[in-house]
Each structure stands twice: as C-alpha cells, then as structure tokens.
Chain A
Amino acid sequence: AQSVTQLGSHVSVSEGALVLLRCNYSSSVPPYLFWYVQYPNQGLQLLLKYTSAATLVKGINGFEAEFKKSETSFHLTKPSAHMSDAAEYFCAVSEGYQKVTFGIGTKLQVIP
C-alpha cells in the first residue's frame, strides 16, 4: 500500500528565505510523486511531478523537488519565499495508474 507523510502541518518562513516542505513516501513499486498547491476555497494546482525520469524536478513558480530513493523522500524547495506562496501544499503518491494518495498537507505562512 502506498502512503505519504508530510512533516510539519504548519511552516513559517520570512519573505525571501528558503522554503523547505518535507515529504516521505511509501510505495511497493517505483512511485509517481506529486506536489500540489491549494489556495483557500480553490482546487488543487499541480506544482511538479516525478515520473522516474530526472531525480531533480523543476516545477512552476520557482519550486523544485528532489527524489531520493534511499531516503524515500520528495522534499519541496524554493530558494526565496514570496508572499504569494502562502497556501496549503500537498504531497501525493501513486503507483502508476492507481489512485493517488495525499498527505495531510502543510500550510505555508510567509512573514513579511
């Protein structure tokens, strides 16, 4: 069975500081991994995805994530936080065409 663990339900960073949102996964087969962002009362927007190609994945809005098989991790980073990055972030895993399992989410607060 697949699962995702997001460490830290709330993360606060200062504007301009590094953003690091942690995600560890469990999967019985090579997984597909995703990061989504959700703004209040809106649906999910795909930030980036890992599909067994390059281990360092670049996404939209300056975000990137690195797939580390040995650590079963897929942490999301951004070098410099912007106020508009304040939102809820979800890490997700799927095993091919199977259903997607989401983490509990991490709420990112950006302090001016």
Chain B
Amino acid sequence: GAVVSQHPSWVICKSGTSVKIECRSLDFQATTMFWYRQFPKQSLMLMATSNEGSKATYEQGVEKDKFLINHASLTLSTLTVTSAHPEDSSFYICSARGTSSYEQYFGPGTRLTVT
C-alpha cells in the first residue's frame, strides 16, 4: 500500500527558533500534499495544500510567512515553522495524494513542542 513518512516524529525547540518537518511518499509519486494541524482532543484542520513545483495554497487564517511549505519533488514536502512560539505547539500531520487518486494517505504525524 501507499506509505507516507514524516520526520521527525517528535521535536522540541526553543521559542524563536525555526523547525523543519519532512513528509515523504515512499512508494508513489505525490502530486499533491496536504498539511494538517491537530490540537489536543480536536479534529484535523487543513493548513495548506501544495502541488509539486507550485506555491502552496493556504487556508484562511494560516500565516504564510510563519508556516513555509515547499513541495520541490514528487516525493517530498517540507513544512517549516518559523520563529516558533509556544502556541505553535501541536501535532502536525501530512498527507499525500497520487496523480490519479482522490484518496489521501496520511503520515504518522509530528509532535512539536515549543518551550
């Protein structure tokens, strides 16, 4: 089956620093990748949609300059949280979709804690 990985699975960073999260499709080409954020005991909220080689499309209310998304290849997308603050602490999940499929395959998630 389609496998999506994320790295790291858990990261702790200090306030004001930046942190990068990688999302990889291991056995298929992901033309579209999605980034979600999940607060404790809440559902997933879509942050942005990225198509390979194009700029990401951000959902309303998501700061583009704070959450930098790059989708440079068909197997890799990155989310960089810039100048992180404690309120950015959350569970970040990516998903990937292939060329001819409507189905999204989810990564295992990354727990970000900003101290």
Task: Report the Cα distance A32→B95, complex, angstroms.
Answer: 17
B103 within 8 A of partner (CB): yes
Chain B residue numbers with a CB within 8 Å of A70 are: none
Closest chain A residue, CB of each to CB of B45 = A102
- Asked if A104 contacts B93 (CB within 8 A), the reply is no
- Asked if A104 contacts B42 (CB within 8 A), the reply is yes
Chain B residue numbers with a CB within 8 Å of A104 are: 42-43
- Asked if B43 contacts A44 (CB within 8 A), the reply is no
Task: Report the Cα distance A43→B96, complex, angstroms.
Answer: 13
B67 within 8 A of partner (CB): no
- Asked if B93 contacts A43 (CB within 8 A), the reply is yes
Task: Report the Cα distance A101→B42, complex, angstroms.
Answer: 13
Partner of A42, one of B42, B43, B97, B109: B109
Total A-B pairs, Cβ < 8 A: 43
Closest chain B residue, CB of each to CB of A42 = B108
How far in angstroms is the closest Cβ of chain B from A87?
A: 13
Q: A90-B44, A99-B49 are in contact. Are A44 and B111 (CB under 8 A)?
A: no
Chain B residue numbers with a CB within 8 Å of A45 are: 106
- Asked if B43 contacts A105 (CB within 8 A), the reply is yes
A84 within 8 A of partner (CB): no
A96 within 8 A of partner (CB): yes
Q: A99-B46, A102-B44, A104-B43 are in contact. Are A41 and B103 (CB under 8 A)?
A: no
Contact with B along A82-112 (1 / 0, CB 8 A): 0000000010001011011111110000000
Chain A residue numbers with a CB within 8 Å of B109 are: 41-43
Task: Report the Cα distance A42→B106, complex, angstroms.
Answer: 10
Q: A49-B103, A99-B49 are in contact. Are A41 and B34 (CB under 8 A)?
A: no
Task: Report the Cα distance A94→B104, complex, angstroms.
Answer: 10
Chain B residue numbers with a CB within 8 Å of A100 are: 34, 46, 95, 104
How far in angstroms is the closest Cβ of chain A from B13?
A: 18
Taking Cβ atoms with an 8 Å cutoff, the residues of B that contact A are 6, 34, 42-44, 46, 49, 91, 93, 95, 97, 102-104, 106-109, 111
Taking Cβ atoms with an 8 Å cutoff, the residues of A that contact B are 32, 36, 41-46, 49, 51, 90, 94, 96-97, 99-105
